Chain A
């Protein structure tokens, strides 16, 4: 409980002195590692940052279903097909948790989806890359989910309670997916020469985009400093990226696959791996909408929404007709 902050709940005083007092209480609660809850007073900018970040996170789960769903109908064994279906289903569920968590800040799922569809809110750049072979499903599990977990585990301690709690649930399921992705690649890597090559090719294509998932370098990250003060973020982009590389290198070895970076090597002095330069021009292009699948992803998302409008309208009309009688029967 955010005890210091809860005392200030429902502040309606316009008096600036009072606002100052709320702010001090909020700052003290954050500094004491207390959780901020929906009814607590919070700075407008804190609220706006959280809405932006949680919405983007929710949108990423929803758009992120597409590259993997692309392979459901072609999965090469029934076991793999079941795993993939369960995973895509989990992603829709994660989207639902995150939209609910964002709604505690006074927005609505409809409003957020509208912003996604109109391009006013973003989703993770990684989902603008295509899944070209079955091995891509494994590479996404291992690298993309791996990067997501590295980013999200610290969010389990985020200062905003509903977000932190959503992350605890999401991270448990993500870790499971990540192990499954690793296991998929391992089966390919140890399979026929064609399967091994398919796995290596997928890792070659997904490695750099996965590193970009941690965001721009620290000196160019617009929101980082404020987010760290507010304890929305706990570590810098570059710090998390380094951690991820250090985790992946031995995993790639046990997979029997290489990472496509000639500059990658262990640095004894720093106790970390050195790695090559990221192509930030590509990153910016993808963010601007010029990646390989940006147009396709958003078009499919909009089409599903638009073509489903009559279904949602019919359900609403049915509910309106029958709410009173159901209420009466239940009462």
Chain B
């Protein structure tokens, strides 16, 4: 991995070198956008959850992620400018987190894949001394809860009724292709991607096995190629999501809220 100041030529000027935060922008944007976009998707569940306890749980997870996103985006610049004024091609989130909610099983499968990854990632970052150590130390506790929530639901749906099993299987299989991207290298993110991928596969396989589900065996290369979301190449539903998210802010340029 390269040093933070040289990772993104676009922001490296004499002025920003002095005032710039220590976090490498590419990595902070990647992690921040993951949290921002998944938080938004979970926010779409409000008022639609299958049981009141899940209204609370999904909103809770969404809030945790939004909190992480705000810290991470603020390492790079103004959180609102970054969230509301960038276009689709400038977002660095994984294609996995932008996937539409689908049914509850689909949301849970997305959550299982992402929370397991995020938990491994933050656990590793928290033990280091890098720019993300402080955030990771706090967030790892939240993410442990998100992971547990997703695992518990994977078991209940997979090993509950026949309908639950079918829906959970379909969801796990449909989202499988987006899981390879999580372990592609990101500039400024000093983690052992290959080691994390092994741990991720082991953990997810164990949960799916316990839930009586079949581990999908298709490619894990994403909507186009692995790493595409990190390069600003997204799937079609994402543009529509941003249109809704950014519309009001963009309608009142320069206003504060």
A65's partner among B55, B62, B165 (CB-CB below 8 A) is B55
List the A residue with the shortest CB-CB distance to B41. Answer: A73
**Closest CB of chain A to B57's CB: distance in Å?**
9
List the B residue with the shortest CB-CB distance to A303. Answer: B48
In the bound assembly, the distance between CA atoms of A68 and B51 in angstroms comes to: 18
Check B257 against A74 for contact (C-beta < 8 Å).
no
Any A CB within 8 A of the CB of B79: yes
Check A82 against B252 for contact (C-beta < 8 Å).
no
Total cross-chain contacts (CB, 8 A): 149
Check A66 against B47 for contact (C-beta < 8 Å).
yes
In the bound assembly, the distance between CA atoms of A54 and B157 in angstroms comes to: 33
B56's partner among A74, A81, A93, A191 (CB-CB below 8 A) is A93
Check B104 against A191 for contact (C-beta < 8 Å).
no
Check B46 against A76 for contact (C-beta < 8 Å).
no
Any B CB within 8 A of the CB of A14: no
Q: Could you say which residues of chain B place their CB within 8 Å of the CB of A253? A: none
Check B245 against A315 for contact (C-beta < 8 Å).
no
List the A residue with the shortest CB-CB distance to B58. Answer: A89
Mask of A52-86 contacts with B, CB within 8 angstroms, 1/0: 00000000001001100100111111111110011
Q: Could you say which residues of chain B place their CB within 8 Å of the CB of A195? A: 252, 255
Q: Could you say which residues of chain A place their CB within 8 Å of the CB of B254? A: 192
Q: Which of B54, B55, B56, B157 has the most CB of A within 10 A?
A: B55
Any A CB within 8 A of the CB of B143: no
Interface SS majority for chain A: helix
Any B CB within 8 A of the CB of A324: no
Check A311 against B104 for contact (C-beta < 8 Å).
yes
Interface SS majority for chain B: helix
Total interface residues on A, CB under 8 Å, equals 52
Check B156 against A318 for contact (C-beta < 8 Å).
yes
Query: What is the interface residue range for chain B against chain A?
Result: 35 or more
Check A76 against B56 for contact (C-beta < 8 Å).
no
8 A Cβ contacts from A137-174 to B: none
Any B CB within 8 A of the CB of A134: yes
Check B52 against A311 for contact (C-beta < 8 Å).
no
Check B52 against A95 for contact (C-beta < 8 Å).
yes
Mask of B216-257 contacts with A, CB within 8 angstroms, 1/0: 000000000000000000000000000011011100101111
A311's partner among B36, B50, B67, B247 (CB-CB below 8 A) is B50
Check B160 against A92 for contact (C-beta < 8 Å).
no
In the bound assembly, the distance between CA atoms of A82 and B67 in angstroms comes to: 8
In the bound assembly, the distance between CA atoms of A116 and B7 in angstroms comes to: 57
A76's partner among B36, B63, B66, B252 (CB-CB below 8 A) is B252
14 A-B pairs with CB atoms under 8 Å apart are A73-B40, A74-B244, A74-B245, A77-B80, A77-B256, A78-B80, A78-B83, A79-B70, A85-B59, A88-B47, A89-B56, A310-B161, A311-B104, A314-B157
Binding site for B on A (CB under 8 A): 62, 65-66, 69, 72-82, 85-86, 88-89, 92-93, 95-96, 99, 109, 134, 184, 187-188, 191-192, 194-195, 300, 303-305, 307-319, 321-322
